[in-house]
Amino acid sequence: MITVRVPAKVNVQLGVGGLRADGFHDLANVFFAVGLFDEVTATPAEGVMLSCTGPDAAAVPLDDSNLAARAARLLAAHHGLAEPGVHLHIAKAIPVAGGMAGGSADGAAALVACDALWGLATPFETLLELAAELGSDVPFALLGGVALGRGRGEILDALPVAGTFHWVFAVADGGLSTPAVFRECDRLREEAGTGSSEADVPTPDADPALLAALASGDPVALAAALTNDLQAPALSLRPSLADTLRAGTEAGAIGALVSGSGPTCAFLAKDAESAAAVAAALRASGTCRTAHATHGPVPGAEVSAPRP
Ligand code: ATP
């Protein structure tokens, strides 16, 4: 039995370029891995089997569309294994369709877990390539830490970070579909008269002030530099998120933004004590389902030590 722990991400910068001819958007995407984890446990079985537990388990598909199952089959095909055998159990703590890349995290964890279970010793570079085939956010869940993603997000460069930042995540009731939020982004750009195509929108780039804040470990500077081009479309689709953002800020958060495509809201706190207070205030505010205080950056998908 192999258990792999894998973190959620928040995008501290998410710059969205114009709509490309292939239907994707160019992104300047600074991924930040935080201490909210799924655990994927692989045990020997016949065929690829899935199970899932956790508060959002009912929303997780247990068929071949699940990214963990797709990862197992992709790794097996890469190594020419005709009949892969594994039972993957997902202990899910990352909100589903929450803008924290939980499905991608499970895909990355399944790659690492099956690689260990089947004794394949696949080079990390190859796992990263297989991850990119599964989806734009999957390579980062392998890498962890903080990284700049370009292209669709799958071309990654690790970024230097000093110290630890303290975060709070307010989990909403229900999810938001990432493609729907991108479509709303395009619609709002058209409505504003700026246009939404590649020719209309400048190619986004990493913000030097944000990179400097990460490298110096300065939470106030990072809070000032947080940006997410998907925040306005997420708020347009789910206006009540403005109440959540306001509740966290009033409770003392130094920065607030929608996480990725939402609807989870992310708050930066000045220290661990303040993060605990912001989480408690959010839970009491009635503007979210629950709130978690945590920290980051944390490492990517890794095999956990067996429990005694
Ligand atoms: P992102 O931030 O990468 O856009 P997200 O965090 O908003 O993603 P996910 O939790 O990754 O959203 O799930 C999006 C959809 O993917 C789900 O609604 C579900 O149908 C599907 N899915 C496939 N595999 C998984 C999985 N292992 N866990 C959760 N959802 C999965």
Residue to probe by mutation, ligand 1, list 16, 50, 60, 136, most atoms within 8 Å of CB: 60
pLDDT at 307: 63
pLDDT at 83: 86
- Does 72 have pLDDT greater than 80? yes
Average pLDDT, the chain: 96
For residue 154, what are its two tokens? 């799958």
Whole-number Å distance, alpha carbon 247 to ligand 1 midpoint, is: 26
Residue to probe by mutation, ligand 1, list 10, 16, 178, most atoms within 8 Å of CB: 178
Tens digits of residue pLDDT in 160-201: 999 999 999 999 998 999 999 999 999 999 999 999 999 999
What mean pLDDT comes out for the span 224-252? 98
DSSP state of 172: P
> Which residues are registered as beta bridge partners of 266?
169, 257
Nearest CA, atom 27, ligand 1: 103
Burial 98-134 (b: 16+ CB within 10 A, else e): bbbbbbbbbbbbbbbbbbbbbebebeeeebbebbbeb
Which ligand 1 atom is at minimum distance from the Cα of 8?
Answer: 6
What mean pLDDT comes out for the span 77-86? 94
For residue 32, what are its two tokens? 């930040």
Whole-number Å distance, alpha carbon 107 to ligand 1 midpoint, is: 10
Active-site entry in 26, 56, 137, 186: 137
Q: How many residues does the chain have?
A: 308
What mean pLDDT comes out for the span 138-159? 91
Confidence of residue 232 (pLDDT cuts 50, 70, 90): very high
pTM strictly above 0.85: yes
pLDDT at 66: 98
- Does 296 have pLDDT greater than 80? yes
For residue 2, what are its two tokens? 């192999």
Whole-number Å distance, alpha carbon 177 to ligand 1 midpoint, is: 9
Which ligand 1 atom is at minimum distance from the Cα of 107?
Answer: 27
- Does 52 have pLDDT greater than 70? yes
* Count of other CB atoms within 10 angstroms of residue 209: 12
- Does 308 have pLDDT greater than 60? no
Residue to probe by mutation, ligand 1, list 96, 171, 182, 231, most atoms within 8 Å of CB: 96
- Is any ligand 1 atom within 6 A of the Cβ of residue 101? yes
Active site residue 137: yes
Whole-number Å distance, alpha carbon 103 to ligand 1 midpoint, is: 4
pLDDT at 154: 72
- Is any ligand 1 atom within 6 A of the Cβ of residue 61? yes
Tens digits of residue pLDDT in 250-277: 999 999 999 999 999 999 999 999 999 9
Tens digits of residue pLDDT in 14-36: 999 999 999 989 899 999 999 99
